[in-house]
Amino acid sequence: MLKPKPATSNLISPLELNQYGKKSLMMSSRQMSWKGIVVEQYQISPTLSEIELPALSDHWLNLPMTQPVHLTQKHDGRLHESTIQKGDCIFIPAGLPSYWRCGVNDISQPGLHLYLYLKPELIE
* Secondary structure percentages of the chain, helix, strand, coil, to 5: 15, 45, 40
Q: Which contacts of 32-35 are long-range, i.e. CB under 8 A and separated by 24 or more positions?
A: 35/122
The residue extents of the domains of the chain are 12-122
The backbone torsions φ and ψ at residue 18, rounded to the nearest 5 degrees and listed phi first, read -60, -20
Report field, pTM of the whole predicted structure over 0.75: yes
- pLDDT tens readout for residues 61-86: 999 998 888 889 987 788 889 998 89
* Fold of the domain built from segment(s) 12-122: Jelly Rolls (2.60.120)
Closest CA to 55 of 4, 89, 99: 99
CA angle 19, 110, 21 (to 5 degrees): 15
